Amino acid sequence: MVVPAIPLLNNVKVAIMRHVPVDEYWTGLGWQGGDYWFDKTDNVTLYTDTWTFAVPSPNAVYEDGKEYTSRVYGIDNAGNTEVVITSATFKYDTTKPDTVITQPSVYYFNLSDIKGTHSDTFSGVDEVQVRIKRVEDGKYWEITGSTWVAPSNWEDASVWTTSWTFSNTPSWDTEKEYVVNSRAKDNATNWEVVFPTFTFACDNTPPDSVLLMPYIDVQIYPSMNLSSGTCSDVAPGQVDYVQICIRNVEGGHPHYAEASDEIQSSDPLHSTASPFMITVQDRNDRRTSTLL
Ligand SMILES: [Ca+2]
Ligand SMILES: [Ca+2]
């Protein structure tokens, strides 16, 4: 014959309090100023040495961002009541956390760390993750195998007070596009769902330029009101700007001008030795200079 386990306690009393606007107890129907205790006659179930409490109408109890206290005490089979009431105060948080990607902040980049900020209302950020996708094949960066995998893969970032950093980045292939996402989990285990996305291209290849006017093999001109040439950068890299230096080899100082500007110089441009330097820079600050 199986003897049913007898609870060690005769009864357990449980209460839920809220503190705003004032201390009140949940009755199952509403809040009241005086004590209200649930027990084995309603929502408390006793087992041998444990108990459970089914919160009545829980959706009506909890409000986002509010603080609550659970209180409990036991009564033994001899009728003795626990003197010290056990209580636990907790916050209810259903507001999702938020992250922002601050680095990279421009389309073209060449860097080792991805960085950002985080915030959360009520419980605070517990964890931040980063996901890096290689656009070329749609695969995701995985630290463990130091490889790219097909299934979506998130990796942990280091979390600071209001910021996060991710240093376990892959070796970026030049002229390739990547997409980075970040997301946070708060201390109430709410995950950020609408997370930020940033697309960037790693560009380690300097751009190129060709000077057409003055042309290198024609070194004597009657006048030189306009200089021109071509510039290029391997896609998806782009030329940021072109710079031209005109040097008077007879002792003058170099003159610089943006390519979009009209170059005006009082210096004669009929030198026979390297009077021009042309510099072109792409949007990742990679630069090529050619002395003509
Ligand atoms: Ca939250
Ligand atoms: Ca480039």
Measured in angstroms, how far is the CA atom of residue 62 from the centroid of ligand 1? 14
Measured in angstroms, how far is the CA atom of residue 254 from the centroid of ligand 2? 26
Which structure tokens are listed for 92? Answer: 């209810």
Measured in angstroms, how far is the CA atom of residue 263 from the centroid of ligand 2? 26
Query: Is residue 1 situated within a structural domain?
Result: no
* Pairing between β-strand 228-232 and β-strand 208-213 as defined by DSSP bridges: antiparallel
Domain boundary among 34, 58, 91: 91
Bond prior to 268 in cis (omega within 30° of 0): no
Which structure tokens are listed for 25? Answer: 């107890």
Taking CA 133 as the corner, what is the angle to CA 127 and CA 138, rounded to the nearest 5 degrees? Answer: 140
Report the pLDDT value the prediction gives residue 88, as an integer from 0 to 100: 95
Measured in angstroms, how far is the CA atom of residue 127 from the centroid of ligand 1? 12
Which residues lie at CB < 5 A from ion ligand 2? 203, 205, 233, 237, 282, 286
Q: Both 114 and 168 in a single domain?
A: yes
Q: Both 235 and 264 in a single domain?
A: yes
Q: What is the CATH number of the domain that holds 27?
A: 2.60.40
Q: What is the CATH number of the domain that holds 114?
A: 2.60.40.10
Measured in angstroms, how far is the CA atom of residue 232 from the centroid of ligand 2? 9
Query: Rounded to an integer, what distance in angstroms lies between the CA atom of residue 158 and that of residue 166?
Result: 6
Q: Both 53 and 103 in a single domain?
A: no
Q: Both 103 and 194 in a single domain?
A: yes
Confirm if 209 and 230 have CB atoms less than 8 A apart. yes
Q: Both 114 and 133 in a single domain?
A: yes
What is the number of other CB atoms lying within 10 angstroms of the CB of residue 223? 6
Tell me which H or E stretch contains 202. strand 197-202
Measured in angstroms, how far is the CA atom of residue 204 from the centroid of ligand 2? 6
Measured in angstroms, how far is the CA atom of residue 61 from the centroid of ligand 1? 18
Structural domain count of the chain: 3
Whether the model pTM is above 0.85: no
Report the pLDDT value the prediction gives residue 101, as an integer from 0 to 100: 97
Question: Which ligand lies nearest to the CA atom of residue 239 in the structure?
Answer: 2
Among the residues of the chain, which ranges form H helices? 58-61
Report the pLDDT value the prediction gives residue 235, as an integer from 0 to 100: 85
pLDDT, averaged in runs of 10, over the chain (292 residues): 73 95 96 96 94 94 93 93 90 95 86 93 95 97 97 98 97 92 97 96 85 69 72 84 68 54 38 54 73 59
Question: Which ligand lies nearest to the CA atom of residue 91 in the structure?
Answer: 1
Domain boundary among 202, 226, 253: 202
Report the pLDDT value the prediction gives residue 216, as an integer from 0 to 100: 63
Question: Which ligand lies nearest to the CA atom of residue 209 in the structure?
Answer: 2
Range of the domain at 34: 9-91
Report the pLDDT value the prediction gives residue 268, as an integer from 0 to 100: 37
Measured in angstroms, how far is the CA atom of residue 186 from the centroid of ligand 1? 5
Report the pLDDT value the prediction gives residue 273, as an integer from 0 to 100: 41
Q: Both 82 and 113 in a single domain?
A: no
Q: Both 102 and 182 in a single domain?
A: yes
Query: Is residue 150 situated within a structural domain?
Result: yes
Query: Rounded to an integer, what distance in angstroms lies between the CA atom of residue 40 and that of residue 26?
Result: 17
Report the pLDDT value the prediction gives residue 264, as an integer from 0 to 100: 36
Report the pLDDT value the prediction gives residue 184, as an integer from 0 to 100: 98
Confirm if 263 and 256 have CB atoms less than 8 A apart. no
Domain boundary among 43, 68, 91: 91
